[in-house]
Amino acid sequence: MARTSRIQGLRDLPVEARRKAAAEAAALDPARIAAFDPTRGLDESAADHMIENVVGILGVPLGVATNFVVNGAEMLVPMATEEASVVAAASNAAKIARVHGGFTTSSTAPVMQAQVQIVGVNDPEAGRVRLLEARDELIELANAQDEKLVEFGGGVRDVAVRLVHSRVGTYVVAHLQVDVRDAMGANAVNTMAEAVAARAGEIAGGRPLLRILTNKADLRLSRARAVFDADTLGGPAVVDDIVHAAALAEADPYRAATHNKGIMNGISAVVLATGNDTRAVEAGAHSHAVSDSGRYTSLSRFEKDADGNVVGTLELPMPVGLVGGATRVHPVAQAAVALLGVRTAAQLAEIITAVGLAQNFAAVRALATEGIQRGHMSLHARNIATTVGATAAEVPAVVARLVADRKVRADHAEKILAELRGKSRS
Ligand SMILES: CC(C)(COP(=O)([O-])OP(=O)([O-])OC[C@H]1O[C@@H](n2cnc3c(N)ncnc32)[C@H](O)[C@@H]1OP(=O)([O-])[O-])[C@@H](O)C(=O)NCCC(=O)NCCSC(=O)C[C@@](C)(O)CC(=O)[O-]
Ligand SMILES: NC(=O)C1=CN([C@@H]2O[C@H](COP(=O)(O)OP(=O)(O)OC[C@H]3O[C@@H](n4cnc5c(N)ncnc54)[C@H](OP(=O)(O)O)[C@@H]3O)[C@@H](O)[C@H]2O)C=CC1
């Protein structure tokens, strides 16, 4: 069967049937995603080897976003999040993007950078140039730390040197620019930085201090682009308002922070589902949101294209891997990667970026039209109903009343529940 990301009625199926439908739609043997079943996910002894002082395992809901087409390929996207409406919103935007073929993505080579800080250099300008003269020697020394990475086609691509003027002096900071192939790359570049630090200090004429990767991974960028059809959105006035909404985010840091949070709703959910480092991706994203003039701005852009549609673009650092970290040891992360069917870290990075753009578009569309409450709160209402003690059988009736009364609040849910229980007793 051909892979598809359109699954009719997925939301109405019980969870076990959804897993089956997802495997079928992804043309996968269901055994490949068996770990999605919480009884077959991460066990305590594996968890005990992942971090320290383990006392338990936190469950986070894992959903699957539908409707994605990325570079012409149908794609079901695993998303781990505690927030209602995120998975629905991503699926909704992906459905609108399908009208014009879905998402087109691209990326730079997977180059991470490690910094070596050198202190106490008397002639920092000359120290910088001495290090650049020693480029080949430093590259050779660094590459010798990871012959396998070089065999895979990775390794150090270049050395850059910056002078950083701080409150307590000028530092010579050498950057190793390393192609880390399918790894997130932290361990490889940190090992290289530690290995070259002493020699770099000698050459620069100072003392090496910090030796660590930078999470401002601006040489490892991933991009996504999609066209959102004007007629599907409700016409030219809606398009103009979406462009206004995005323009405010570009110009105003207060709005940009929320706009970017909407992007990260999608990105962090896929990063977490695939066992990648959410903090590394978040740090990279926010560092990239600072413009050349030093102002915090939005990561995405929405414009009106020549045909009057909205064209959305997103570009940001995406340091994710397939071969290391928790991706290698967490059975649910492995199942998530299998569901996506990706073979390289670059493919994974690009899909995550497409999800970020979809998520952002869904929120901005809602905000520029009916507001966030109707769609988001009607899904959040299920949490509220459960919080006040509604049973699985009672939840649908409580949710329907909360939404109809436009009062998605715990006090109102308690009132509705009491009324329902009163009726069923009488
Ligand atoms: C919530 C929707 C999608 C409803 O939207 P709707 O138009 O009422 O939904 P629909 O029933 O017509 O369905 C349209 C599609 O949405 C999906 N969908 C719809 N409902 C479900 C569901 N229950 N379960 C699974 N999928 C669902 C589904 O894909 C469906 O198509 P289908 O594939 O079925 O043909 C819409 O209102 C929306 O996109 N809202 C945005 C919600 C959002 O952004 N939530 C994030 C949390 S809010 C936040 O944290 C960020 C924010 C907002 O502050 C960021 C910012 O300010 O920029
Ligand atoms: N500031 C930060 O962001 C920091 C993050 N971290 C953590 O680092 C972890 C990720 O580190 P990472 O270095 O990716 O993970 P690992 O070191 O676990 O895995 C990467 C290794 O996998 C091997 N490998 C096998 N196949 C490939 C391939 N096709 N391409 C590239 N490498 C391959 C290589 O080792 P070999 O050459 O030996 O085969 C490579 O060094 C995350 O858990 C993150 O949380 C750690 C420190 C700081």
Q: How confident is the model at residue 305 (pLDDT cuts 50, 70, 90)?
A: very high
Residue-level pLDDT at 1 = 59
Q: Whose CA is nearest to atom 43 of ligand 2?
A: 325
* Together in a domain, 227 and 353: yes
Q: Based on the domain organization, do 48 and 130 belong to the same domain?
A: no
Q: Which of 146, 148, 211, 286 to mutate to test the pocket of ligand 2 (most atoms within 8 A of CB)?
A: 148
At 51 the pLDDT is: 96
Q: Is 418 inside any structural domain?
A: yes
The b-or-e profile of 120-158 (16+ CB within 10 A means b, else e) is ebeebeebbebbeebeeebbebbbebbeebbeeebbbee
> Does residue 1 lie in a domain region?
no
Q: What is the pLDDT of residues 18-41, one digit of tens each?
A: 999 999 999 999 999 999 999 999
Beta strand 111-119 with 207-213: parallel, antiparallel or unpaired? antiparallel
Same-domain check for residues 328 and 198: no
Q: How far, in Å, from the CA of 146 to the mean position of ligand 1?
A: 45
Q: Which atom of ligand 2 is nearest to the CA of 328?
A: 18
Is the domain of 72 the same as that of 197? no
As for ligand 2, residues whose beta carbon falls within 6 Å of it are 146, 148-149, 152, 154, 180-188, 213, 215, 277, 280, 321, 323-325
CATH number at residue 407: 1.10.8
Looking at the structure, do residues 359 and 234 belong to the same domain, yes or no?
Answer: yes
Q: Which of 32-36, 51-55, 176-180, 390-394 has the lowest mean pLDDT?
A: 390-394
Residues 231 and 252 in one domain: yes
Domain boundary residue among 352, 371, 390?
Answer: 371
Which is the closest atom of ligand 2 to the Cα of 180?
31
Domain boundary among 181, 213, 245: 213
Report the pLDDT value the prediction gives residue 424, as an integer from 0 to 100: 75
Nearest ligand to residue 282 Cα: 2
Residue 64 lies in a domain: yes
Q: What is the pLDDT of residues 66-85, one digit of tens each?
A: 999 999 999 999 999 999 99
Tell me if 321 sits within 8 A of 184, measured CB to CB: yes
What ipTM score was computed for the predicted complex, to two decimals?
A: 0.95
Q: Are residues 280 and 381 in the same domain?
A: no
Asked whether residue 343 is assigned to any structural domain, the reply reads yes
Q: Is the pLDDT of residue 99 over 90?
A: yes
Which of the ligands is closest to the CA of residue 4?
A: 1
Name the domain boundary from 163, 189, 213: 213
- Is the same domain home to 304 and 324? yes
The enclosing H or E element of 380 equals helix 373-387
> Across the strands, what pairs with 74?
69
Residues 6+ apart with CB under 8 A from 16: 37
Q: Is the domain of 380 the same as that of 358?
A: no
Domain-embedded: residue 327: yes
pLDDT range class, residue 307, cuts 50, 70, 90: very high
Residue 226 sits in the same domain as residue 78: yes
More confident residue, 1 or 225: 225
What does the pLDDT look like over 210-256, one tens digit per residue?
A: 999 999 999 999 999 999 999 999 999 999 999 999 999 999 999 99
Q: Tell me the pLDDT of the chain averaged across its residues.
A: 96
Quickly list H helices, 110-178. 124-133, 135-143, 147-151
Angstrom distance (rounded) from CA 23 to CA 34: 10
Assigned domain for 360 exists: yes
Q: How many domains does the chain have?
A: 3
Q: Give the pLDDT confidence score for residue 239 in this predicted structure.
A: 98
User: What range defines the domain where residue 207 resides?
Assistant: 111-213
Identify whether 134 is part of a domain.
yes
184/346 Cα distance (integer angstroms): 10
The pLDDT assigned to 375 comes to 86
**For residue range 126-173, what is the model confidence (pLDDT) as tens digits?**
999 999 999 999 999 999 999 999 999 999 999 999 999 999 999 999
Domain assignment present for 4: no
Taking the centre of ligand 2 as the mean of its atom positions, its distance from the CA of residue 38, in whole angstroms, is 27
Predicted pLDDT at 235: 98
Are 97 and 48 contained in the same domain?
yes
CATH number of the CATH domain containing 193: 3.30.70.420
d(CA 328, CA 25): 25
Q: Whose CA is nearest to atom 3 of ligand 1?
A: 89
Q: How far apart are alpha carbons 191 and 194 in whole angstroms?
A: 5
C-alpha–C-alpha distance, residues 286 and 348, integer Å: 20
User: What is the model's pLDDT at position 377?
Assistant: 82
Q: Are residues 175 and 207 in the same domain?
A: yes
Contact 296, 237 (CB under 8 A): no
Enter the pTM of the model: 0.95
CA atoms within 13 A on the CB side of 367: 17
